[in-house]
Amino acid sequence: MKKAMKAKIFTIFPELFPGFLGSSLTGKALAEGIWSLETVNIRDYAFDKHGSVDDTPCGGGAGMVMRADVLGSALKANYKGGKIIAMSPKGKTLTQDLVKEYAGYDELNIVCGRFEGIDERVLEAFEIEEISIGDYVLTGGEQAAQILLDALIRLLPGVLGNASSIVSESFEDYLLEYPQYTRPIDWEGRTVPEILLCGHHQKIADWRKEQSIKTTQERRPDLWKKYLDSKRV
């Protein structure tokens, strides 16, 4: 069996982990050892008796910044190799392609920011890649890290019951997913599209592809362009 994917989280709120990752499929995968979790409390590496991890920004301005020396010490003592990233709104936007790339690492170290963020020098010194989960601002990197891990863990072998469900999902092949239906066939006068009940696999596959294309064209012209580019030889 493949070695467990190890997630090492650098945070000042270790109690937030595993959080929602402890439930459902990701929780089961954690219990089964498909992935493992270790948290490092950055505050344990503070130098003063108050456990200060932040200080005012050089040059002035609002808020506080995570100190380079405290976070640096936490990293020096606990970073044992593998990919290292920090959650940050100014990072590269997380995509399914990036999630797939990260799912290939044996060890993923994630630094969670708080306050106004992290002293830039730590990011440089440890060659940390910054990742954003979208163009909005959260209070902390812990929430973002859990979203990244949730997307990643479901791709690990043995986590999803039906591996083929990954293949037809949104963002695979740059197309959004087709609409899904289940029972009852008639719900308050709204019926399931007849084609899905015909039992003809090819016709159903064609209909679904058509629907995927239509939804992608309407909702995500950016993805539609990527799809067309990927088909060009």
What sections of the chain are H helices per DSSP? 24-31, 68-78, 96-102, 120-125, 141-153, 164-167, 201-219, 221-231
Identify which range of 28-36, 44-52, 82-90, 120-128 contacts ligand SAH by CB under 6 A: 82-90
Sign for the pseudo-dihedral over CA of 88, 17, 143, 102 = positive
69, 118 in Cβ contact below 8 A? no
Handedness of CA 177, 178, 182, 186 (dihedral sign): positive
| Residue 99 in contact with ligand SAH, rule: CB under 6 A | no
Q: Please tell me the total number of residues recorded for the chain in this structure.
A: 233
Q: One-letter amino acid identity for 2?
A: K
* Look-up of token digits 């002293």: 119
Q: Is residue 67 involved in binding ligand SAH (CB under 6 A)?
A: no
Candidates 72, 23, 64; CA nearest to 47 is 72
With respect to ligand SAH, which residue has the nearer C-beta, 75 or 113? 113
Considering only residues 197-226, where is the footprint of ligand SAH by CB under 6 A?
A: none
**In the block, residue with structure tokens 């992935």:** 35
Q: Which one of 22-30, 134-142, 156-164, 208-216 is the stretch in contact with ligand SAH (CB under 6 A)?
A: 134-142
Q: Which is nearer to ligand SAH, 19 or 177 (CB)?
A: 19
CA-nearest of 109, 19, 123 to 66 is 123
Q: Which of 54, 141, 152, 227 binds ligand SAH (CB under 6 A)?
A: 141
Instruction: State in angstroms the smallest separation of the CB of 123 from ligand SAH.
Output: 11
Query: In this chain, which stretch among 38-46, 69-77, 126-134, 193-201 interacts with ligand SAH, using CB under 6 A?
Result: 126-134
- Quick check: 129 binds ligand SAH (CB under 6 A)? no
68 binds ligand SAH (CB under 6 A): no
Among 99, 112, 149, 175, the residue binding ligand SAH under the rule CB under 6 A is: 112
Binding site for ligand SAH (CB under 6 A): 87-90, 112-114, 116-117, 132-134, 136-138, 140-141, 144
